């Protein structure tokens, strides 16, 4: 089925056979961390596989790990609209179109299947067979699911591997991490008094935080991090990165607080394998969003 309207027509057709719908709760998917995989089959033939984030499917929140149900095809479209599954269906169908041109060697197909089994902790042949039987899937169905995910990853590499290093250095100022100490006060007078005590060595950050700070850092002696600079308020990130390690900074306003901060550690991001995967995922997601606007 090549379009959302085609599926909508198929599902809403009065003469259509009832569909058997299998819901499989999955974890660890590269696109969404916690998914519901929906397999629809008609007369024993699989016609649709769909991965849907849990948060979009309130209907499925109370379901067991696997549930099978015979649902009238005319009712499925209504349910999809009610539980906001159609946008995800449109997205997944677009991805299918995108990766349709990706080719695979026989070795890659075997690798894709093995990666799928490892992801689902299916080590032995018996475990694999039991899992497929429990989820009403054939080996061909498993291969389709495995190859699809493999194809998505291959598409990412083909499209963005050559620009990944440049993109990393563009993003690096946001990806570098810091550990810093922070002490919050509600007024300037208190903040300057605490600053002078710290500067004179009369008290430690931890001592003053436990006694005076009104933020969550009171539980950690004032220490925050490691945290990526890109996740911090821009004013705080600029202040931290523009000063030396261990330098006590004069009080400044940050939102509703007057804060005193000190940079403890700066951790530079590196383009290791985990970072490469993260940035490939990011580029892919950004591109998908642009294409579907």
Tell me how long the chain is.
293
Give whole-number Cα distances, 274 to 29, 188, 231, 267, in Å. 15, 43, 19, 16
Task: Find the largest Cα–Cα distance for the chain.
Answer: 84
Instruction: Report the C-alpha gap between 41 and 21 in whole angstroms.
Output: 7
Q: Where are the domains of the chain?
A: 1-91, 101-172+271-293, 177-267
Residue 267's pLDDT band (cuts 50, 70, 90):
very high
Q: How many C-beta atoms surround the C-beta of residue 280 within 10 A?
A: 20
Does residue 115 surpass a pLDDT of 70? Answer: yes
Q: Are 53 and 47 in contact (CB under 8 A)?
A: no
Instruction: Report the C-alpha gap between 104 and 112 in whole angstroms.
Output: 10
Does residue 172 surpass a pLDDT of 90? Answer: yes
Residue 74: per-residue pLDDT = 59
Whole-structure pTM value: 0.68
Percent of the chain with pLDDT over 90: 46
Q: What is the CATH number of domain 177-267?
A: 3.10.50.40
Query: Of the candidates 236, 238, 202, 208, which has an alpha carbon nearest to the alpha carbon of residue 222?
Result: 208
Q: Are 261 and 211 in contact (CB under 8 A)?
A: no
The torsion defined by the Cα of 23, 21, 45 and 65, in degrees rounded to 10, comes to 20
**CA 257 from centre of chain:** 31
Q: Which SS3 state, helix, strand or coil, does residue 5 take?
A: helix
Task: Give residue-wise pLDDT tens across range 74-91.
Answer: 577 777 778 788 888 888
Percent of the chain with pLDDT over 70: 74
Give the pair of three-digit tokens for residue 139: 């080996």
Q: What b/e string do you get for 132-159 counting C-beta neighbours within 10 Å, with b at 16 or more?
A: eeebbbeeebbbebbbbbbbbbbbbeee
Task: Give residue-wise pLDDT tens across range 30-73.
Answer: 333 333 444 444 444 444 444 444 333 333 443 333 344 445 55
CA 29, 31, 36, 37 dihedral sign is negative
């Amino acid at each position: 089925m090549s379009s959302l309207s085609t599926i909508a027509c198929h599902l809403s057709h009065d003469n259509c056979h009832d569909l058997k719908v299998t819901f499989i709760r999955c974890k660890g998917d590269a696109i969404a961390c916690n998914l519901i995989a929906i397999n629809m089959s008609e007369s024993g033939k699989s016609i649709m596989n769909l991965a849907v984030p849990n948060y979009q499917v309130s209907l499925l929140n109370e379901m067991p790990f696997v549930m099978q149900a015979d649902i009238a095809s005319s009712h499925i479209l209504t349910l999809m609209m009610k539980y906001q599954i159609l946008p995800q269906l449109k997205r997944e169908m677009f991805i299918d179109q995108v990766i349709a041109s990706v080719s695979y060697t026989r070795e890659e197909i075997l690798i894709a299947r093995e990666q799928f089994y490892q992801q689902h902790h299916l080590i032995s042949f018996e475990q694999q067979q039991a899992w497929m039987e429990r989820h009403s899937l054939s080996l061909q169905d498993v291969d389709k699911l495995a190859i699809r995910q493999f194809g998505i990853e291959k598409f990412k590499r083909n499209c963005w591997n050559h620009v990944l290093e440049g993109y990393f250095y563009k993003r690096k100022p946001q990806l570098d991490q810091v550990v810093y100490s922070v002490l919050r006060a509600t007024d300037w007078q208190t903040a300057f008094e605490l600053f002078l005590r710290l500067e004179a060595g009369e008290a430690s950050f931890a001592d003053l935080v436990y006694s005076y700070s009104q933020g969550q850092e009171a539980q950690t002696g004032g220490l925050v991090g490691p945290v990526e600079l890109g996740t911090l308020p821009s004013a705080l990130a600029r202040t931290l990165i523009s000063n030396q390690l261990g330098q006590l900074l004069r009080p400044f306003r940050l939102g509703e607080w007057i804060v005193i901060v000190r940079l403890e550690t700066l951790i530079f991001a590196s383009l290791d394998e985990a970072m490469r995967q993260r940035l490939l995922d990011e580029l892919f997601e950004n591109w998908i969003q642009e294409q579907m606007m």
